[in-house]
Homo-oligomer: A and B are copies of this chain.
């Protein structure tokens, strides 16, 4: 029996008589033979593999993203490699290089030091690309993202309506896209709400950062009635300080976070925060990627925005 026949037994690309089929399957089982995906890839120029690049799989946001992506591409037969960059440029570039030399069919990329321009080279190499990172919106590469600016604006609007104009923000980083966008949203909403010169303290995206920020806020000037935190860890730190000073939440100071991490339901009082669905983001990215990889869509770049929602609990 010829290689061709064996090939067709496994691929089903053309009819094989039941007898031969049975025979081939028996022998294959006995020999432990199974088709080599490597050789198949060389021939077909497809690897059925995608690469997902994130800063650090260990950041609680990313496992959800990865899982959403995997679940959305699996039905089409794709498997995922995962790469971490620690947000370092060299690593980001190395992983783009890897995508090209490995001939992956697609890549979902969340870069911080690298953007659409670098992804263009990958796309030109014939690899489907979805950008989640820096410069996603409006570029020539498909993208999915959250509208952090809008989310922050909405949360700010909520605080303004409920607690009035005595409002402040603790931001984590003015350079990081999330920090920048959330701050822009905050400031925009303040402007709309006719709040003049709202206070913003910039620290770090950590609980310790939140403590520092809140201490500064309480240290000088009038105590704000409501505080928007750029993420939940910051909010946790802010709450630490308020409690330590015997201030009641939300009666003395209301606090809102962003991200809805697990801990948000564990602190007391439970944290009011904005939930972004990382899994859905991954799923959307996967869908876009698949339509590109299968050639079902060939048009110009699409830009999607994944949903967010304000989860009102007890801290505001």
Contacts and interface: CB of A to CB of B under 8 A. Distances in A.
B36 A39 contact: no
A32 B125 contact: yes
Interface of A: 32, 34-39, 41-42, 47, 49, 56-58, 60, 62-64, 66-67, 70, 79-84, 97-98, 100-103, 121, 124-125, 236, 262-263, 266-268
Contacts of A100: 34
For the complex of A and B, 7 pairs with smallest distance between CB atoms: A37-B102, A57-B63, A38-B41, A58-B63, A263-B266, A63-B63, A81-B81
A298 to B, nearest CB: 21
A98 B57 CA distance: 23
A100 to B, nearest CB: 6
Contact of A36 (B36, B49, B63, B101): B101
B32 A38 contact: no
A103 B236 CA distance: 47
15 contacts: A32-B125, A36-B42, A37-B101, A37-B103, A38-B47, A56-B67, A57-B67, A57-B70, A58-B64, A66-B82, A79-B81, A81-B81, A262-B262, A262-B263, A266-B267
A210 to B, nearest CB: 12
**Copies per complex of this chain:** 2
Contacts of A60: 60, 262
A36 B125 CA distance: 12
Given A34-B97, A38-B38, A262-B263, 15 more contacts: A35-B101, A37-B101, A37-B102, A38-B42, A39-B42, A42-B42, A57-B57, A57-B63, A58-B63, A60-B262, A70-B84, A79-B81, A80-B82, A236-B266, A266-B266
Contact of A82 (B82, B125, B267): B82
Contacts of A266: 236, 263, 266-267
A192 to B, nearest CB: 34
B125 A38 contact: no
Nearest to A82: B82
A42 B103 CA distance: 14
Interface centre among A35, A64, A80 (most CB of B within 10 A): A80
A60 B57 CA distance: 10
A56 B263 CA distance: 20
